[in-house]
Amino acid sequence: MPAEHQPQSEVWMAWPIRPDNWRLGAAPTQRVFAAVASAISEVTPVVMIVQPSHYEAAREQLPERIKVLSIPYDDSWMRDIGATYLLSPEGQRRGISWQFNAWGGEVDGLYPQWERDSRVAEQMLSLTGDDFYIAPFVLEGGSIHCDGEGTLYTTEECLLHPGRNSELGKSDIEALLRIYLNIEKVIWLPAGLYEDETNGHIDNILHVAGPGEVLLTWCDDPADPQYQISRLAYDVLTTETDAKGRPIVVHKLPMPGPLYITEEEARGIKHSSMMDRQPGTRLAASYANFLITNGRVIFPLLDERHDQQARAVLQRVFSGYEIIGIEAREVLLGGGNIHCITQQVPRGSAAP
């Protein structure tokens, strides 16, 4: 599995429409998705999949350079429903279709039907022209980060959650990750971001900046539950080495907020018994939920008290990159952010 900072041929997204996840019929969120897609497409081609009944509306809101395809799906988290791609040393590309169960299935999944989501990865791979493997276990793309040199980062909270692979232990999952991603070492953080309804996806607390280098969501308030979570993660990262034996450099990203759903925002969302969108619900807000794509970092603007501090950290770590901030609270209200709604396809050629 290549790293996100390696060259990409395109980025895929899925148009938001679900009324029990996105407020006001998803209209405000669609504007943010269009802004994210536009920013990506200036450096990397973008493919936006759209429910057939919403094709014309999406086409009208998106720049002409963005390809729009009619493909059925259940919700718009392309990082988790899309394919994960692999590269051979010669640059040949293949993909993986993971099993998907809406972040917990019957245990604590976020919606009761996910059949269309579970078919997206194979359709994506067919359209990118890549042969692929069908993995026999549940995993979402947002639950793993790789450095491109054999190191994979994840959280125990997510991959060991009973709603995913209750029959598999930690060593079983490590073995499967080694087989399907050809990684050499798994670094397990205890938990992800506080109140993350994905059961602690790695991409909401950590991002890989390069081999042996990560960014970690950091909280300085001892009264906040995230304070201890971040410190436990820091302890793991600073006492581990990566697959090549290098110590891991940790850059601390400030945590926005804490941020909460307002009464006005909650009123605009259709009630769901499976997704908590009530007034006062804490949002899993994180600047680590950004996308790296071909010399550009696109990150969410979430809290004017911390946005510029986060930008400064990103600019220092990605010194040769253009740093683009996009107002992304509307995406956050749905439970994730810019990394969650995108899935990159690495540059390569179809493997025979």
- What whole-number distance in Å separates Cα of residue 41 and Cα of residue 67? 10
Cα(200)–Cα(120) distance, integer angstroms: 23
Tell which phi-psi region holds residue 212, choosing left (phi > 0), alpha (psi between -120 and 50) or beta.
Answer: left
Q: Which long-range contacts (CB under 8 A, 24 or more apart) does 316-319 make?
A: 316/251, 317/209, 317/213, 317/215, 317/251, 318/209, 318/292
Sign of CA dihedral 276, 201, 288, 80: negative
Amino acid occupying residue 280: G
Q: What is the DSSP letter of 339?
A: T
**Closest by Cα among 286, 281, 280, 156 to 219:** 286
CA dist., res. 47 & res. 212, Å (int): 31
Question: How far is it, in rounded angstroms, from Cα 88 to Cα 351?
Answer: 8
CA-to-CA separations, 175 to 43, 104, 168, 303, 314, in angstroms, rounded: 36, 21, 10, 40, 33
Q: For residues 162 and 179, give the distance between their C-alpha atoms in angstroms, rounded to a whole number.
A: 22
CB of 6 closer than 8 Å to CB of 346 = yes
| Active-site residue flag, 146 | no
Rounded to whole angstroms, how far apart are CA atoms 105 and 120? 17
**Residue of 146, 158, 219, 340 marked active site:** 340
Cβ neighbours of residue 31 closer than 8 Å, sequence gap 6 or more: 61, 330
Task: Decide: helix, strand or coil at residue 259.
Answer: coil
Beta bridge partners of 325: 299
Q: Where is 216: in which H helix or E strand?
A: strand 213-218
- Locate 139 and state its tokens: 């995993």
Distance CA 34, CA 15 (A): 9
State the catalytic residues: 340
